[in-house]
């Protein structure tokens, strides 16, 4: 929700937010709350009511009495609100919206669609911004906006969604399923390793280990804290809890808070600091963190040294690397003997997975395995996400710009000079070539997007700059000035890059220039490239969960240089 509000704030005149109900069946209070929200909408108080719901205690705060209290708090007509809660038509509308969600594959929450393009889960601002900016660029290119334009774009990307939203098509009702006592459990086991450096509660020999990837600025992580405590109380010695750090980049205090906790752990006070941080999520400035260290009874001088120690951040980065490997991209994400459970799930959902883990344990652990080694045996053969796809593509690099000397690792990037995300992703490339001198090179391939009207002219200039050995100079100038790519701007950058004017003029007019760009685009489409930037390492598509940065590239490059699969 904060991310979507940030999107609307960033583009107040260009983005409209529409919310549909998808109350998950194992959230027992979610459906009544959804009906109540639509009842508030009837009195033009949806957004205020929604904010109260999200700010409430997620158990008692969603009971009938609490819902009625929010209506009174907002000055709503109490009688009309009560009647709406009992209105079968309103309940049917919630069902219709949920049926649409199921039909569209939005079986978890949150799931978002930007002009029909799906984003699953609580993704960072940058992920949403990328699609929003692409849609805005398309709107500018077509010189269109408004309801008709949005409907057209949505229909092109997702005809089913357009039908449900704009054409009055009724979504199919899901087939009736038998009543179940517990939520369905995804029994896929992920290789979630633990070691002695991880904070834990419980016996390492416990038959079930729950690993939580979390961070201290995340409100959903705070909500799951009492649930995990209740789970430990319910199962006692059968469950061990393990904490892993995954501070999200858009939470500006999360990394510092993680360091504070790691350094408290060094003095045997992790869980005391853990509780203090979650209890004070809105006060995580450096002075606050030091205050909590003092409150926890830590040696402050040792704690101060620890938070500045590079090894502290390295521990957190290692946890984050594991999070990426097991697709724990949001927080909280928990694993019960390797079985994944995303989000702040209720106790019943956790209990269902724990019961499954207990039932499966004997079959998963070889006879004679020491109890303290049983968890390693269970997850040792588990699934791991690779940042590189298995398929190896072969690209024509003859006559294409190359940064650095060809070595063991070749980074191929399909890019567009008008794409803002391409300029950001290009930033670490020179650093990587310098860091891995003689081992890593970068090859640039053109993929100007059709809705970026100045991308093709910029690509032509870039091809002609390469013909004169000045590609990277012009590359940097155009990315540094993305909002100024008209013909006169491009000519000016060519002069700054010291291109020969006559050769440039001839090259821009030559059919071979467009032919080279077309060849790059044909290769891209054959490889499945749909947007920019798209990177390949030694011909394998690179999709790091943490984004394109020096760290994510370095991790993959180090593995390739060592002959391993990232």
The Cα 35–Cα 85 span in angstroms is 6
The Cα 39–Cα 60 span in angstroms is 20
> What is the per-residue pLDDT for 382?
94
> What is the per-residue pLDDT for 525?
93
CB neighbour burial string for 101-121, b if at least 16 within 10 angstroms, e if fewer: bebbebeebbbbbbbbbeeeb
| CA nearest to 344, candidates 221, 246, 165 | 221
Question: What is the DSSP track for 113-130?
Answer: EETTEEEESS--HHHHHH
Domains of the chain: 2-166 (3.40.30.10), 200-379 (3.40.30.10), 402-561 (3.40.30.10)
> What is the per-residue pLDDT for 180?
42
Please write down the HEC assignment for all residues of 317-333: HHHHHHHHHCCCCCCCE
Residue 400: phi, psi to the nearest 5? -95, 150
Considering only CA atoms, give the Rg of the chain. 27
> What is the per-residue pLDDT for 182?
45
The Cα 239–Cα 237 span in angstroms is 5
> What is the per-residue pLDDT for 174?
67
Contact 455, 134 (CB under 8 A): no
Contact 6, 39 (CB under 8 A): no
> What is the per-residue pLDDT for 103?
86
| CA nearest to 461, candidates 421, 497, 414 | 497
Contact 455, 490 (CB under 8 A): no
451, two tokens: 């809705």
Taking the chain (566 residues) in runs of 10, the rounded mean pLDDT of each run is 84 91 85 91 87 72 79 80 76 85 85 92 86 92 90 91 79 56 77 96 97 93 92 97 92 95 98 97 95 98 98 96 84 94 88 96 94 96 88 95 97 94 90 97 95 93 98 97 96 98 98 97 92 94 82 93 87
Q: What 8-state DSSP symbol labels residue 534?
A: E
């Amino acid at each position: 929700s904060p991310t979507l509000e940030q999107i609307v704030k960033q583009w107040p005149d260009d983005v409209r937010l529409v919310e549909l109900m998808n109350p998950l069946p194992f959230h027992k209070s979610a459906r009544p709350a959804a009906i109540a929200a639509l009842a508030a909408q009837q009195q033009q108080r949806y957004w205020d009511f929604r904010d109260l719901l999200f700010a409430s205690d997620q158990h008692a705060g969603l009971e009938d009495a609490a819902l009625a209290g929010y209506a009174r708090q907002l000055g709503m007509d109490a009688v009309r609100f009560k009647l709406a809660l009992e209105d079968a038509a309103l309940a049917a509308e919630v069902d219709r919206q949920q049926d649409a969600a199921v039909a569209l594959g939005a079986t978890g929450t949150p799931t978002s669609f930007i002009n029909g393009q799906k984003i699953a889960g609580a993704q960072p601002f940058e992920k949403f911004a990328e699609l929003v900016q692409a849609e805005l660029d398309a709107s500018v290119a077509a010189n269109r906006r408004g309801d008709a334009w949005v409907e057209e774009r949505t229909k092109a990307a997702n005809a089913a969604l357009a039908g449900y939203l704009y054409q009055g098509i009724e979504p199919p009702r899901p087939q009736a399923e038998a009543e179940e006592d517990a939520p369905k459990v995804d029994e896929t086991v992920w290789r979630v390793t633990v070691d002695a450096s991880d904070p834990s509660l419980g016996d390492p020999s416990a038959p079930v280990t729950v690993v939580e990837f979390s961070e201290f600025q995340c409100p959903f992580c705070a909500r799951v804290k009492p649930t995990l405590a209740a789970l430990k109380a319910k199962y006692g010695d059968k469950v061990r809890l393990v904490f892993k750090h995954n501070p999200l980049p858009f939470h500006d205090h999360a990394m510092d808070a993680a360091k504070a906790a790691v350094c408290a752990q060094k003095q045997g006070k992790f869980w005391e600091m853990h509780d203090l941080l979650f209890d004070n999520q809105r006060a995580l400035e450096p002075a606050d963190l030091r205050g909590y260290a003092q409150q926890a009874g830590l040696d402050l001088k040792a704690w101060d040294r620890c938070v500045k120690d590079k090894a502290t951040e390295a521990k957190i980065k290692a946890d984050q690397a594991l999070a990426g490997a097991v697709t724990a991209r949001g927080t909280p994400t928990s694993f019960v003997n390797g079985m994944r459970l995303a989000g702040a799930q209720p106790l019943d959902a956790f209990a269902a997975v724990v019961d499954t883990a207990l039932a499966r344990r004997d079959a998963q652990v070889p006879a004679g395995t020491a109890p303290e080694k049983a968890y390693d045996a269970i997850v040792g053969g588990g699934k791991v996400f690779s940042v590189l796809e298995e398929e190896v593509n072969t690209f024509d690099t003859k006559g294409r710009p190359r940064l650095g000397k060809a070595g063991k690792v070749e980074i191929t990037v399909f890019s567009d000079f008008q794409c803002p995300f391409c300029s950001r992703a290009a930033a670490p490339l020179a650093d990587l070539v310098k860091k891995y001198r003689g081992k890593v090179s970068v090859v640039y391939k053109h993929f100007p997007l059709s809705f970026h009207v100045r991308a093709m002219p910029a690509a032509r200039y870039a091809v002609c700059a390469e013909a004169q050995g000045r590609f990277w100079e012009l590359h940097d100038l155009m990315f540094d000035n993305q909002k100024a790519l008209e013909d006169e701007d491009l000519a000016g950058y060519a002069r700054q890059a010291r291109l020969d004017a006559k050769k440039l003029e001839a090259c821009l007019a030559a059919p071979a220039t467009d032919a080279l760009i077309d060849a790059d685009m044909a290769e891209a489409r054959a490889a499945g490239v749909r947007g920019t930037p798209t990177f390949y390492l030694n011909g394998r598509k690179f999709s790091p969960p943490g984004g394109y940065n020096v760290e994510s590239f370095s991790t993959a490059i180090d593995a390739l240089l060592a002959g391993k699969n990232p």
